[in-house]
Structure 1
Amino acid sequence: MDNRITYTNWGKTYDLDLVRATYVNNGNLAVVAFVAGTHERYGSITVNLDELASPLACIDTNNMPGIFEILLSSGLAQDTCYTMESGYCKYPIASFDLAKLPDYEEYLNKTGCKE
């Protein structure tokens, strides 16, 4: 699948399916990860800091170390060379290839997930 990545954190490796959604308060792009096979929600790989035009999103490198580099190497996102700050954290802004990310609702329906 074009939207699947392999991510290692805290000594565990996961195959994750990434899907696109939107944040309710401002419509920003949200990218959510599900564990491949079980379709359990792993978490959001983006953070919602300020309004951004689609397909831009801030990557949650604070809670998911190494995820930005994986997104770039997988071709799911490109580096914009811009960042946003929140507290002591600086989050890179990525431009996503939305054609590679299935819609959140479509993914849930296809996999039979119930959230």
Structure 2
Amino acid sequence: MTTIYQPGEGSAGAAVASGVRKDLLSRKKVGKHGLPFHIVRDDQIKTRWTESEAVAIKITADAMASNPAVETNVAAIRGFLAMFAEAPEMLVHVHNELKVAKLPAPEWLPALPHKDLQP
């Protein structure tokens, strides 16, 4: 796996302040309480919302005749698209890692913008 350098002045998701990102990361839990990370699948990792965040998400989803899981996924995808617009090198990184893993790109993932950005 490749590590992407992120300059201190902010890029790649700059719209989400680093303090917010750190707060969300601090709430990350792995599987059932006490289950070691190495035996948990990635899709079992969940970020816990505060009560007010969860209610705000539910109210939004209800107003859209949807559910919180779908709307948080939509918000995440929209956030990724904004990040890729801010930092095209992250889009290149994602495409490269998907290629290495021999996985197709999700249909919502933008195509690579320019040949000069590809390694």
Alignment TM-score, normalising by the size of structure 2:
0.26
Higher strand content, 1 or 2: 1
Point out which structure has higher relative CO (alpha carbons under 8 A, 6+ apart). 2
Rg larger for: 2
Higher helix content, 1 or 2: 2
